[in-house]
Amino acid sequence: VSHLRFDPLSGEWVTVSPRRLGRPVTASAEGCPFCPGGEGSEAPDPDWDVAVFDNRFPSYGGPGEPLPGLGPGYAAAPAGGRAEIVLYSPRHDVHLPDLPEGKVRLLVEVWRHRTEVLEADPAVACVFVFENRGRDAGQTIGHPHGQIYGYPLVPPRLARELERLREHRLRHGACLVCAIRAHEAGGPRQVDREGGWLAFVPFAPRFPSEVHLVPERHVGELAGLGDEEVADLARLLQRTVRRYDGLYGAPMPYVMAVYQRPRPAAPEGLWHLRVAFHPFLRAPGRLKYLAGSESAAGAFLLDASPEDMAQALRAVRL
């Protein structure tokens, strides 16, 4: 059963989830648990556009169990929370760039709706929408899909950002992300824009062609987006993935994540919504590995300038 353990040296919680090893690994449609109608399929019958269901091998949601033998500064807790799968299409071979625009919009609407549902669960401290695309990004089932975690805690990355946002707000009385977005608009790292959404490579990214999508309006979560903003985001999401696939002429393995207000840790008005892509190719056929500096020291090294990567992404013919 899943549970959380606290590491006294890093000050971070990790999730221990041995059951996940039972999850099947399959790239092809044969034996795919997400293709509707197949034997042992977890997907509902095929009359749908986007489907959501509980992950059968969840990282979160277990009742937990008592752990014996805790040591100095150690702590453990049940991994309550939620884990859901979001299928982008009943078809095994239809990826995000191939979907009709209306279906991508529907997908974002589903994220928005599930966020509202999961946020109402008292066991959930942070709703995190993400996609692992490609085997090199940790995708174990080839069927195009994303996931939604209802974390029982605020994950370390978001907790740190929350502190940075709080500090900037105290010192300058304004939102740091609003300031960054305004600074990047029209600059050398801008990649694309759609309505009020700006796509840009951040000043100091962790991955060479990392792209962030940030709305102009100061809004903290998907649930706060109007229909027009959802439609604009859907178009920009799809174009961004097409740019990635065009960059090296092959599907880009990436992790895409929606960073939204971790309720209830972040007071209303403090957070600014963004979607971030973490792409794993640094050149054609060459993966960016998390090697010694990244894995062991947490210090990321880039072998291309963010300005050059933005230029290359802008230049992709769509």
Quote the strand ranges of 134-273, DSSP E: 145-151, 190-194, 197-200, 211-215, 254-259
Task: Choose one: 28-36, 56-64, 97-105, 188-196; the region binding Zn ion (CB under 5 A).
Answer: 28-36
Catalytic residue among 3, 92, 143, 145: 145
Q: What angle do CA 85, 88, 94 make, to 5 degrees?
A: 135
Tell me if 162 contacts Zn ion by CB under 5 A: no
Tell me if 197 contacts Zn ion by CB under 5 A: no
Interacting residues with Zn ion between 35 and 74 (CB under 5 A): 35
Q: Which residue has the tokens 């799968």?
A: 85
Least Å from the CB of residue 214 to Zn ion: 8
Report the residue number, 29 or 67, with the smaller CB distance to Zn ion.
Answer: 29
Q: Is 145 a catalytic residue?
A: yes
Q: Distance of CA 36 to CAs 47, 87, 180, 208, Å? A: 9, 10, 43, 37
Contact 255, 278 (CB under 8 A): yes
Tell me if 143 contacts Zn ion by CB under 5 A: yes
Contact 165, 271 (CB under 8 A): yes
Return the SS3 of 282. Answer: strand
Tell me if 244 contacts Zn ion by CB under 5 A: no
Tell me if 274 contacts Zn ion by CB under 5 A: no
Return the SS3 of 306. Answer: helix
Tell me if 32 contacts Zn ion by CB under 5 A: yes
Tell me if 218 contacts Zn ion by CB under 5 A: yes
Q: Give the single-character DSSP code of 18.
A: G
Task: Choose one: 107-115, 240-248, 256-264, 266-274; the region binding Zn ion (CB under 5 A).
Answer: 266-274
Structure tokens at 235: 């178009």
Q: Contacts with Zn ion: how many residues (CB under 5 A)?
A: 11
Tell me if 34 contacts Zn ion by CB under 5 A: yes
Tell me if 272 contacts Zn ion by CB under 5 A: yes
Report the residue number, 34 or 60, with the smaller CB distance to Zn ion.
Answer: 34
Report the residue number, 35 or 225, with the smaller CB distance to Zn ion.
Answer: 35
Contact 141, 26 (CB under 8 A): yes
Q: How many Cβ atoms are within 10 Å of 45's Cβ, its own excluded? A: 10
Tell me if 288 contacts Zn ion by CB under 5 A: no
Least Å from the CB of residue 93 to Zn ion: 8
Structure tokens at 246: 């065009």
Active site residues: 145
**Contact residues for Zn ion (CB under 5 A)?**
29, 32, 34-35, 92, 143, 175, 177-178, 218, 272
